[in-house]
Amino acid sequence: MQLIGLTGGIASGKSTIASRLASHGAVVVDADRIAREVVEPGRPALAQIAERFGDGVIAADGSLNRPALGAIVFGDAEALKALNGITHPAVLAASTARFRAAAEADPEAIVVYDVPLLVESANEYPFDRVVVAHADERTRIDRLVRLRGMDPAEAERRIRSQATDEERLAVADVVIDTGGTLEQTVAQVDALWDELRAGA
């Protein structure tokens, strides 16, 4: 099994890369999806979040009130660190179980871990390669405003709350430039896939 870490800031085109690799046969493990699963009602992480941030982050139906929690942690480094301290261990355990299952199903599997917070968690996983989706900040703000209807100031705040481009690029083995056309991005991903298959 090859374990590939795939990361990129919000609106960097990371999901496009993951989808293309999946179409080639990669096993994609989505950290965001796992992060949602570990805070479902009845899970220990949700109880810890409520204890740390108060009952206001729990919706009437017992689920996590994401907007309320987001309003607390975005732009507050200490609060975000506290949240990550609760969720990261749970995500790590669930992710590792999925990597193991993929390897057992196919020892030659290429497993792509799609993880926004890779810079913050890179030492937790034995990645064979780290792939970074990269587009400049202006391009990403434009995408958030145009495609997601986000306010420009909020888009900038979201970007600034994540790792910097320099921090991500510093851990990259491969950089996919997503600032051009979709065809240009896809061509880079296809070349990467050929390399990974050759390496396998």
State mean pLDDT over 144-153.
Answer: 92
Residue 144 vs residues 7, 33, 140, 168: alpha-carbon distances, Å:
17, 20, 6, 20
189/192 Cα distance (integer angstroms): 5
The reported pLDDT for the residue numbered 200 is 62
The residue extents of the domains of the chain are 2-199
Lowest mean pLDDT among 25-29, 77-81, 144-148, 161-165: 161-165
Question: Bridge partners of 174?
Answer: 131
The reported pLDDT for the residue numbered 46 is 96
Q: Identify the burial level of 1 via C-beta atoms within 10 angstroms of its C-beta, where 0-12 means exposed, 13-18 middle and 19 or more buried.
A: middle
103-118 confidence digits (pLDDT tens): 999 999 999 999 987 8
The reported pLDDT for the residue numbered 88 is 86
Of the candidates 103, 108, 140, 123, the one whose C-alpha atom is nearest the C-alpha of residue 8 is: 140
The reported pLDDT for the residue numbered 52 is 96
118/105 Cα distance (integer angstroms): 25
State mean pLDDT over 33-39.
Answer: 94
Model pTM score:
0.84
Matching residue, tokens 């009130």: 65
CATH code 3.40.50.460 for 2-199: no
82-98 confidence digits (pLDDT tens): 998 999 889 989 999 99
pLDDT at residue 122 is higher than 80? no
Q: How confident is the model at residue 4 (pLDDT cuts 50, 70, 90)?
A: very high
State mean pLDDT over 146-157.
Answer: 91
Q: Which amino acid is at 126?
A: P
The reported pLDDT for the residue numbered 73 is 93
Residue 17 vs residues 38, 64, 122: alpha-carbon distances, Å:
25, 29, 19
Give yes or no for a contact between 111 and 95, defined as CB atoms under 8 angstroms apart: no
The reported pLDDT for the residue numbered 118 is 85
Q: What 3-state class would DSSP assign to 111?
A: strand
The reported pLDDT for the residue numbered 84 is 87
